[in-house]
Amino acid sequence: MKIVELFKTKKPVISFEIFPPKLDTPIESIFDALEQFKALKPDYISVTYGAGGSAKDRTIEIASKIKNEYSIESMAHLTCVGHSKEEIDKLLVSLHENNLENILALRGDPPIGQPDFDFSKNVFEYANELISHIRSKNDFCIAAAAYVEGHINSIRLKDDLVYLKQKVDSGVDFLVTQLFFENRNFYDFLDKTAAIGINCPITPGIMPVFKADQIKRIASLCGASIPAKLVLLMDKYGNNDEDMRKAGIEYASSQIRNLIDNGVDGIHLLTMNRPKSSKEILQNAGLL
Ligand code: FAD
């Protein structure tokens, strides 16, 4: 099923994001978690694409298992950085052959160790070009990334929004946002996107804070700001893993409750492959 159809019948659409196990870990290590995620009845599960395509076969294999064995709708992330057109087309064929109908189409970050990577040498320089290409060839439901606080490389937020509109117009069915910790920023973003005529569903991405260090690292990579109330929690509980986990779960749950109260299209939970904590968040948020 195309996920965009879900947004027409359900609010909020609940989705989980998982990542494939590292290449030196057996792929089976994710299957136990998937069993537990299944019991939480998400509307769909998305599977990330390893930086530079390092785990691309695993992305498709896991997305296929979710869809074809667990009978849960799935979405494969796909980045075009470093890929030739032929490689992208091969991946699209593979997705199609695996009965996968949903793609989160991304440009991707610079390959590891190449912070000055020149994207203009890419076949597809920006995600909108990849999206136009997918649209011209296949009948996929296409999602794209959106940045509530602006993409980290954007010099002006205004330009980021212009490029987002261009991306949506190239054939996007719905948007999934980068993680954020302050809902007010998301509501502001919704006002701005509506003002420039972006009308597709926009699902907020929520990442629970399980470890203070981990969240500082992720926030510094993606540019999400950490509000004072979260800094206080990390100062208070950061030295105790279980206390930090519980505080992070409560923070994410209250973010989600507030988002639902404000009528969001969906909730995209970045599960970090942790079914137990994901279950607690859904329970706290009244979604189970
Ligand atoms: P784009 O939309 O191409 O934007 C990239 C930058 O270029 C932005 O600054 C934008 O403002 C600018 N820009 C866009 N169009 C133009 C233009 N025409 N002219 C000039 N500038 C332009 N990465 C992974 O490696 N694997 C994943 O699985 C993955 N999943 C993600 C899931 C979500 C929900 C999100 C939000 C991000 C994810 N990422 C993932 C990270 C993503 O790959 C990076 O943020 C990447 O740097 C940008 O990808 P994009 O598709 O948003 O790029």
**Which pLDDT band, with edges at 50, 70 and 90, does 51 fall under?**
confident
257 CA distance to ligand 1 middle (Å): 28
Cα R_g (the chain), whole angstroms: 18
Q: Cα(135)–Cα(142) distance, rounded to whole angstroms?
A: 8
What tens digit of pLDDT does each residue of 55-91 get?
Answer: 778 999 999 999 999 999 999 999 999 899 999 999 9
What tens digit of pLDDT does each residue of 156-165 get?
Answer: 999 999 999 9
18 CA distance to ligand 1 middle (Å): 18
User: Token digits for 149?
Assistant: 């606080």
pLDDT at 69: 96
Strand partners, 80: none
For residue 263, the domain's CATH number is 3.20.20.220
How many structural domains compose the chain?
1
Question: What domain range includes position 43?
Answer: 3-284
Q: Cα(19)–Cα(55) distance, rounded to whole angstroms?
A: 9
| Residue of minimum CA distance from atom 16 in ligand 1 | 163
Name, of 110-114, 136-140, 146-150, the range with top average pLDDT: 146-150
What tens digit of pLDDT does each residue of 90-134 get?
Answer: 999 999 999 999 999 999 988 878 888 899 989 999 999 999 999
| Total-model pTM | 0.97
Ligand 1 pocket (Cβ < 6 Å) reads 48-49, 51, 77, 79, 104, 106-109, 126-128, 145, 151, 153-154, 160, 163, 167, 176, 178, 205
218-231 mean pLDDT = 93
What's the first-to-final CA gap in the chain, in angstroms? Answer: 23
CA atoms within 13 A on the CB side of 164: 31
